[in-house]
Each structure stands twice: as structure tokens, then as C-alpha cells.
Structure 1
Amino acid sequence: MSRLHALDLLRFIAAISVVFYHFINRPEATAFKWLAPVTQYGYLGVPIFFIISGYVIAVSATNRSAIGFVKARMIRLYPTYWIGLIFTLIFLISFGGHIVIEGSIFFVFLANLTMFNDLFGVSNLDGVYWTLHAELRFYGCVFLLMLLKVFDRFYIWLNIWLVMSIMHFFIDQPFFMGWFISPVYSPFFIAGVIFYLFQRDGMSLATLLMLLVTCLLSLVRAYEITPSFIVAASHYQGVMSAFIIFISFLFFLILTCRWVTIKKYPCITMLGTITYPLYLIHNVAGRIMIDQGKRFVSEELAVTVTVAIMIVLSFYIAQYIEPRATKIFKSSLILFERILNNFLSLQIFNK
């Protein structure tokens, strides 16, 4: 199945929306206030990321072993994540004395290296990393489905997941759902998988009904989470949030049904490659840059220069640092596999 290159563009739009949200709509911000009514919805880039993730993971996991899937996800996530984590740590140590970190900063850093720090009750070095925990839970569920050889039975487990998500919205049951997947953001992941089915099998009555229900639940959830991201959110702002998600669903539908196709352009592919590092490094380091910069220049200029620096740094990471780090990580995984296999073989031989 051919890759949707338009997703690279959508990925970048989602990422830059989050960047503008964090830079322009931070509580102490005074710059670009005329843009704030628009950028206040930038946090919606996160649920859009989750839709993309649902689609991409469905594509990635198809015709792949469970172990192969885990390895591919680790290679995709960890090297760049560690780069972003080290980058953030350097800025916190150098300039972030005013930023409060719960616990020893080095202990928090070491726990964050695992990406499972939330399971141990350790805070994130950067607040935006919470989305990675939601992603990991989704990957874990996909891994279990693959391990049980039922991943390809999409219509069974998607409907079960959707029913559980609806039940959790109305009666907070099953109460344990949050232990392994986010009840609030589940409809966005589900939608991504459904869009994959649209592209693979075409539109059918079953997938269309699933999408309609998922879309409705996603709109309600988008309305519901608005006060968590917009201070003293009004009914209008909640409706606007839901409307933006609705437009995103329409965009995905148009792409996956091939009603409109976007050709592959190197610039669009490049925007897709810088999205992950941009998301990882922009928040804490970017805010520190703005705070330091506005001591010497206007806040508008500090924000503008910081955005430009973040994009350039993300390009540099994606083009030069990430490939080398990924190569080293792959080699380490292969070496670890060999050592583990030799150890297991030795244990079996000794028995």
C-alpha cells in the first residue's frame, strides 16, 4: 500500500501548531497577542498526531512479527528521544534555574531515558513528553494483539475498543481502561486505524458507521478537554475545538479515499522528518530561549528567532545526528540480541 505523503505535511502543521501554542499562549506571554485567538487551538495538534499514529501503526504492524514491530518502534522513537532529552537537560542546567523539576534533575533525567518514568511516578523532564506515554500504551496494545495473532481482525478489536471508549465516557467503566490505554484519546487512535482500512479496503457500510461513531466521540472529547488547555475556556472555544477536529477528520477521509492526491515533493518529506525532533526540543528549551532573548530584544523578535532556531536545529538533528544515533542504536540492538540468544542457547545446553 502506497504511503500517504500528505501526512508529512499534516504532521508538520500539527507540530508547528503545538509550537505556536506553547510560545504565544504561555501565561506570561505578551507578544503576538493578535495571533493568540488562533494559536490557542494549537494544542489540537496532539490529537491529530494520535490520528496519524493510528494510521501509521496500522500500516507498520501489518505483515510484521510482534518482535519486529517492537524493534521498529524502538528504533524510531528512542534515539531521537534521547537526543531531545539531552538537549533539554543542557538547557535546564544552563539557564533553567527558575523552572521547577519535581525531584533531582539527574534522577528525573535517568528515569525519563526509559520513557516509562510515568509508571514509576517520576515527572517528565519536559511536559510535552506525556504524549509519548500515550503512544507507548497504544503500541503495547498493538503488540499484544500481534502476539495473540489477532491484529488482522480489525473489525473485532476496533469495535470492542470503541464500545469500551463509549462506556468509559458515560459511566467511567471499565475502570481499568486507563491502565493500558488512554480513554480520552482512544477515539483518535481508533480513527487513524479506520482511515487505514478505508485506504486498504475502500469505504464500506461497516467502516463508515465505525467512523461516524468514532468521529462523534472524538468531537465530544475535543470539546471536553478544551478547559485543560485554554484557561477559562468558553462554550464557543469548546465548539471551535470540536470543529477543528471535524475538519481534520474530513481531511483524512479525503486523503485515504484518494479523492485528492498530493504528489511526493522533497520539501514536504523534509517537513515530515523534522517534526519529531521539533516536537521534542521546542517546549522547555524554546521557552528558555524566549525568556533569555527578551532581555535584549523585543519579545516578538525573541519568539520569531526562537521558532527559526528550533526549525533549523530540528533539521540538523533529523539530517545529521538522528541517522548516526539510529545506526548506533540498531547495532546495539543486534549485539544485545546475539548475546541474549547465546545466553539462552547456553542455558538450554546446560539443562
Structure 2
Amino acid sequence: MGPDRALGSASGSALDRARPRGAAAAAKGRRLVELDVLRFVAAFAVMSFHFMAASKSLWDEYPTKLFEPVARLTTLGILGVELFFLISGFVILMSVWGHTVGEFAVSRVSRLYPAYWFAVLMIFIMYRFSGVAGFDPKLSDGEYLLNLTMFQGAFGVGHAGGVFWSLWVELRFYVLMALFSLVGITMRRCLVFLVAWCGLALLAELTQNETLVFVFMPRQAPYFIAGMAFFLIHRFGARSGAFVPWLLVAAGYGMSLYAAMERVGERVRLVGIKHYPAPPEAVVVAITVVYLLMAAVALGWLRWVRWRRLVTLGALTYPLYLVHQTISAVVIPAYRDVVDPWPLAAITMAVSIGIAYLIYRLVDKPGQRWLRARLGALLDRSRRSRPRGGGGISRTTTAIPAQSPEASVP
């Protein structure tokens, strides 16, 4: 069977005619609470990595020595970011399907920026007007202002927060998705797009061409590609379209193993396996577990996760991701000489989660509502000002899955 036949024809493909069924049909009309849980698991893994495995400068000692019983787990917490990318691939395809580019942009901007602006302002005030030194990005006022755009990576300017690098990756993914949406998203086109991206990411990795690496992100693309393939399986059912989405998941898994072992391996080479006990086989297990969890979501095996309070847990994940490292720079050095490491790590985690919840309730939630309303009004005015019959992209009537697009970032 040739590629064309496997993917179907443009006009009559069985893939394009597929209707949600199986897990997708069962999930229709409800939020995927299981993704909120996975997002919090990812954020907690990253927080554990920063507090208990990575930050020697905070403890004045290798944290894996202080927390040796869990060191083999906390060192792998670095891969929580990769789980975020998988979830993002799943949810961003969900949120852009059937929406115009303008609607997608309003959704993403209103979701990302309120909490992010607060985090940048918080970091600026802390390092300008306190004696805190840990993780100081040493930026000028102008560089902090540029950080407010979230595009500082495009200008070679450092990130105000150590975790902000992943947001720059996310933004580039959003641009690719916005461009893809201009041609109209169908099942067949989505598969072609993913196969092409997979090939171009491999080419970028092999050639290390700067432009190709920047655009196609070979170390992060496998997670986005697999996440999107998982969404196709979720939306159209495990058997519609036969094997192509699963082949993409398999390709993403293989490429992810390489990317993850390279990323963790850099840490091991930097400080040694003794101080960073994360051997390659542990990385393989971690990535395999992450992919199995996403497969369980796609196939509907986690539909039993329905407790509504978990939605709030997922919602505070983004503020937690943004500020936890900054909070640790304040709390841990101040108390490491008077509080034992284990309770101090637990206290720092609790403080971080508490502050993240306050940011979510007082800044992020109302900020999203305010920004979405104003950007939505601008979008409506833009539509009304277009000449009737103009060349604007009309909104399709494709059914959108019930999952909120807000679950797509840390």
C-alpha cells in the first residue's frame, strides 16, 4: 500500500470522513480532567528536579547527596518539561482545529501572558530591590522589558526565569500551527504535516543547520508530533485511519528517546553520574511511562478521572511552573542552615504551590478573562470592518472537542 493510499485522497479519504468514535465519542462534551492531572504531575516533577536534584548553589551541596533515597527519581524530573510538550501537542491541535488563526491567537495570548507578565515583574522586583542572588539573570531594565514580550529568545537576550526557555519553544510551535491552520486542518492534511515535520526534524538533527534547528526544533518536535498523533487517535478513534497515527507515535517515541538521553546525558557529563544518578536505562523507562500515560489518555483509559477539583490543580500548574524556581531562591538559602533539608524542601514546595494558587486566583484567572474579552472585541471589530465577500478566512463548522484550550501550557 503506497503512502497516498494509506493517507487517502484529498476529496474522499476515509480519514477525512472519519467521525469521532470510541474513546473520543465517550469523552465528547467533557473536559479531559486527566490532562490536568498529568500537567500537575509534570510541574511537580520539574519542581522536584530543581529543588532536590539540580540546584547545588541553593544548598551549598549537591542536592542528590542530601536527598539520596529519591535521587534516581528527582534527576528524571527534568523530563517533566517533555511531558508538557506532549500534552501541548495534543491540546494545541485540539484548540486550533476548526478555529480561525485570529481565534487561535486570542486563545493563546490570553492564556499565556497574564501570569507570565506577573512572573517577570516579580522577578524584576526581587532582583532589583532585595539581596537575593540565586538564579539572578543579571538583565538590564531594557532586557526585562523585552522579556515581557516573551520573544527575548529571538534577540539573543537571556530569560528572566530559568524555565522560560520552554515558553520560547512553545511559541515557535504555535507559529507552526497557525501557519498550518491557514490551509485548513483535516485528518489527511494533519498526517501529511506530521510526516513532513518528522522528516524535517530528522534532517535538522543530522545537519545541525541553524535555520532548520530553529524552525523545526528537532529535540522538542518528537513530543509535539506524538502529542498531535495521540489527539488524532483520541478524536477519531483508535482504528480510524488505520496505522498512520500510531506510526507517528512510534517515530516520536524513538526520536524522543534519543533527545531525552542527550538532554539528561549533558547533565551527567557536567557533574558526573555520582552526583546525577540518571543512567540511560532510567531515561528509557521514564520516557516510556510518559508515552504510556498519553496513550491511556488518547484511548480513554483514564476517563474515570472526573473529580472537578483536579481542574483547579491543573489551572495552577502554569503559575507554579513560572515561579517555583524563583521562590526556592528566596526560601532555601535563608533557612538551609536552620531547617533540615527534607522538611525545608517540603516547605518550599508547599509555599510554591500556595503562591501559585494565589497567582492563579488573583492574577491569572481574571487576567485571562480581561485580556480575552479585549482581544476578542478587537477580533470582532476586524471582522466587521472587512468588505463583505473579502478574502478573510471564514470560521468552519467543524465540531470542537470539549477540552478547554487552556490546558495546553505548563
Task: Give the TM-score normalised by the residue count of structure 1.
Answer: 0.89
Q: Deviations over 1:101-133 (max 9, x none)?
A: 3441x2222111000001111100111100000
**Alpha-carbon distance between aligned partners in 1 of 2:118 and 2:72, rounded to the nearest angstrom:** 33
Question: Paired residue for 1:21, among 42, 46, 49?
Answer: 49
Structure 2 match to 1:349: none
More off after superposition, 55-64 vs 172-181: 172-181
Per the TM alignment, residue 257 of structure 1 is displaced from its structure 2 partner at its CA by: 1.1
Q: Deviations over 1:123-159 (max 9, x none)?
A: 0011110000000000000011112335651111100
Structure 2 unaligned blocks of 5 or more: 1-27, 388-410
Which structure is higher in helix share? 1
**Alpha-carbon distance between aligned partners in 1 of 2:251 and 2:135, rounded to the nearest angstrom:** 42
Q: Say whether the 8 Å CA contact 1:50–1:188 is kept in structure 2.
A: yes
More off after superposition, 158-167 vs 148-157: 148-157
Question: Paired residue for 1:121, among 129, 152, 156?
Answer: 156
Q: Say whether the 8 Å CA contact 1:134–1:181 is kept in structure 2.
A: no
Structure 1 match to 2:299: 257
Q: Say whether the 8 Å CA contact 2:135–2:329 is kept in structure 1.
A: no
Q: Deviations over 1:247-300 (max 9, x none)?
A: 111111122112342331023212101100000001123222211122443343
State the structure with bigger RCO (CA 8 A, min sep 6), 1 or 2: 2
Structure 2 match to 1:155: 191
Correspondence 1:268 to 2:322: no
**Alpha-carbon distance between aligned partners in 2 of 1:297 and 1:232, rounded to the nearest angstrom:** 28
Task: Give the TM-score normalised by the residue count of structure 2.
Answer: 0.77
Question: Paired residue for 1:6, among 34, 43, 51?
Answer: 34
Structure 1 match to 2:361: 319
- CA distance 1:298–1:129, change in 2 (3 Å): same
More off after superposition, 245-254 vs 154-163: 245-254
Structure 1 unaligned blocks of 5 or more: 346-351
Structure 2 match to 1:348: none
May I ask how many residue pairs the two structures share in their alignment?
343
Give SS of 1:40's match.
helix
**Alpha-carbon distance between aligned partners in 1 of 2:180 and 2:290, rounded to the nearest angstrom:** 28
Q: Say whether the 8 Å CA contact 1:24–1:33 is kept in structure 2.
A: no
State percent identity of aligned pairs.
28
- CA distance 1:102–1:339, change in 2 (3 Å): farther
- CA distance 1:235–1:273, change in 2 (3 Å): closer
**Alpha-carbon distance between aligned partners in 2 of 1:235 and 1:158, rounded to the nearest angstrom:** 35
**Alpha-carbon distance between aligned partners in 1 of 2:124 and 2:208, rounded to the nearest angstrom:** 39
Q: Say whether the 8 Å CA contact 2:33–2:306 is kept in structure 1.
A: yes
Correspondence 1:290 to 2:326: no
Correspondence 1:221 to 2:250: no
Q: Which amino acid aligns with 1:305?
A: I
Structure 2 match to 1:210: 248
Per the TM alignment, residue 224 of structure 1 is displaced from its structure 2 partner at its CA by: 1.7
**Alpha-carbon distance between aligned partners in 2 of 1:98 and 1:165, rounded to the nearest angstrom:** 35
Q: Which amino acid aligns with 1:214?
A: G
Per the TM alignment, residue 235 of structure 1 is displaced from its structure 2 partner at its CA by: 9.9
Q: Deviations over 1:63-122 (max 9, x none)?
A: 100111011000010011112222222332323246543441x22221110000011111
Q: Deviations over 1:210-266 (max 9, x none)?
A: 221221111121112112344335896122112211111111112211234233102
More off after superposition, 75-84 vs 333-342: 333-342
More off after superposition, 243-252 vs 229-238: 229-238
Q: Deviations over 1:22-50 (max 9, x none)?
A: 01111243543332222011010001000
Q: Say whether the 8 Å CA contact 1:164–1:173 is kept in structure 2.
A: no
Q: Say whether the 8 Å CA contact 1:165–1:186 is kept in structure 2.
A: yes
Q: Deviations over 1:177-229 (max 9, x none)?
A: 22223111100000100000111122221122222122111112111211234
Q: Say whether the 8 Å CA contact 2:71–2:277 is kept in structure 1.
A: no
Alpha-carbon RMSD: 2.5
Correspondence 1:135 to 2:170: yes
**Alpha-carbon distance between aligned partners in 2 of 1:92 and 1:344, rounded to the nearest angstrom:** 47
